[in-house]
Amino acid sequence: MPEGSIGASPRLAVVDGLRGYALMGLFLVHMLEYFELYWAKPTPNPVTTAVFTLFMGKTFSLLALCFGFSFFVMMDGAARRSQPFAGRFAWRLALLAGIGLLHGLVYRGDIIVVLALIGFILIPFDKVRSNRVLLTVAGICFLQPYILLWIVAGAAGAPWALNKPHHYSDPAMATYLSGDALQVLRANLWEGQVNKWWFFIETGRCVQVLGLFLIGLVLGRIGFFADLGRFARGRAIALVAVILFAAACYVLKSKTGGQHSGPVFWANMLVGGWFDLSCMAASVLIFIALWRAGGEVVLRALVPVGRMTLSLYVAQSLVFIPVFYPLGLGLYANITPALALTIGLAAVAVQLLLASAWFKRFHYGPLEWLWRCGTRQSFDIPFRRKPEPQPA
């Protein structure tokens, strides 16, 4: 893998398409989770199993990968202009974390703040010029040292390693199931956030996110998305490899399931993370293959969605939290997974149409524009597109 940077377009349609796919897949997971209320009493059926297997953990990982690529684009562009950008990127992350904190008051499952805070760790890695070093660090992240520690300690009989994970205790859920808007907000200020962070720590997602950021950075440096014809043979080999690896992980995952603590439980957690990563990698490779094989015409419908992921991600919660939670319509207790999926697919279609229409009139999504203005500390950034002159 060559060292250094070969540059990238500031706006690559295929990456926006991947980001749009990831957002829509994550949204379907949220719909089948009833924005987390499903976990009060999980009742798996073929619909939830299919959606969770296809998208849960995979689309989140893909968003993290795209985040790392975007970091490369910004830092590389600044370097080409001989402008330092680390400080501005840190300020940009601080603003993003603020948006995530506010969103988390509505929906405790917010991932914006997670990506933003871990993003600060990514900044120093831009100074590491060796891609091999970055890939090595990413590999260590994917090995999940935290989970390996629990497995080894549990096998040695350490009592603390035999306890159930902290995120299995969820005192905020009772409030979500019966509380009004103010009570839910109070729960999301602390109890809900504590549970969320335990989940991200204990499932290994925090270090996994850092690893994916680094992979995205390396993919940017080698021009993986900028020249889709350059790595065709390597992508084909990689696709076969990740599919075989995913199959092996799936078998191991099925054989280690059913435990709630102890070394076997943590081994299942570890293998499950590898399964999600390999499926995510396969989805990227298949998406690119379809894009190059003529599917670009269809897949481009995801590009506008990918350009306003922040706005749509927040809007999804603002719309559907009142639909599912008792603070609003409280439909979670009466809606079936099949109906939730149907509503979700209809909402995906609406978002695709809305995003397409939006960019005919505006340069950025609303939150993307405010975020950009905050980063530059100026509102002198074009938002509305100028109408095209009409022929005489």
Q: For residue 80, what pLDDT is reported?
A: 84
Q: Is the pLDDT of residue 363 over 80?
A: yes
Cα separation of 356 and 353, whole Å? Answer: 5
Does pLDDT of 7 surpass 60? no
* Res. 392: pLDDT tops 70: no
CB-based burial, 345-374: b 16+ in 10 Å, e otherwise: eebbeebbebbeebbeebebbebbbbbbbb
- Are 265 and 199 in contact by the 8 Å Cβ rule? The answer is no
Residue 11 has pLDDT above 70, yes or no: no
What pLDDT is attached to residue 29?
Answer: 98
Q: How confident is the model at residue 227 (pLDDT cuts 50, 70, 90)?
A: confident
Rounded distance between C-alpha atoms, residue 35 and residue 335, angstroms: 13
pLDDT-wise least confident of 5-14, 56-65, 159-168, 265-274? 5-14
Q: Print burial letters for 123-152: b (CB count within 10 Å at least 16), e (below 16).
A: bebbeeeebeebeeebeebbbbeebeebbe
The per-residue pLDDT for 86 is 87
* pLDDT score at 391: 63
The pLDDT, as a whole number, for residue 389 is: 66
Q: What is the mean pLDDT of the segment spanning 181-199?
A: 96
pLDDT at 9 over 50: no
Neighbours of 239 (CB within 10 A): 17
**What's the whole-number average pLDDT of the chain?**
93
> 3-class secondary structure for the chain?
CCCCCCCCCCCCHHHHHHHHHHHHHHHHHHHHCCCCHHHHCCCCCHHHHHHHHHHCCHHHHHHHHHHHHHHHHHHHHHHHCCCCCHHHHHHHHHHHHHHHHHHHHHCCCCCHHHHHHHHHHHHHHHHCCCHHHHHHHHHHHHHCHHHHHHHHHHHCCCHHHHCCCHHHCCCHHHHHHHCCHHHHHHHHHCHHHHHHHHHHHHCCHHHHHHHHHHHHHHHHHCCCCCCCCCCHHHHHHHHHHHHHHHHHHHHHHHHCCCCCCHHHHHHHHHHHHHHHHHHHHHHHHHHHHHHHHHHHHHHHHHHHHHHCHHHHHHHHHHHHHHHHCCCCCCHHHCCCHHHHHHHHHHHHHHHHHHHHHHCCCECCCHHHHHHHHHHHCCCCCCCECCCCCCCC
Residue 144: both structure tokens together: 């999940």
| Segment 212-219 mean pLDDT | 97
Residue 325: its pLDDT value, please? Answer: 97
Q: Quick one: average pLDDT of 221-226?
A: 93
| Whether the predicted pLDDT of 8 surpasses 80 | no
Residue 364 confidence (pLDDT) above 70:
yes
Neighbours of 324 (CB within 10 A): 24
Boundaries of every domain in the chain: 13-376
Distance of CA 124 to the CA centre of its chain: 22
Q: What is the pLDDT of residues 268-287, one digit of tens each?
A: 999 999 999 999 999 999 99
pLDDT in tens, 242-254: 999 999 999 999 9
C-alpha gyration radius of the chain = 21
Burial (Cβ within 10 Å: 0-12, 13-18, ≥19) of residue 113: buried
Percent of the chain topping pLDDT 70: 96
CA distances 384 to 65, 234, 313, 374, Å, are 30, 42, 21, 17
- pLDDT of residue 158 exceeding 60, the answer is yes
pLDDT in tens, 113-141: 999 999 999 999 999 999 999 999 999 99
Residue 6 is predicted with a pLDDT of 35
Whether the pLDDT of residue 2 is over 60: the answer is no
pLDDT one-digit tens code per residue, 56-94: 999 999 999 999 999 999 888 888 888 778 898 999 999
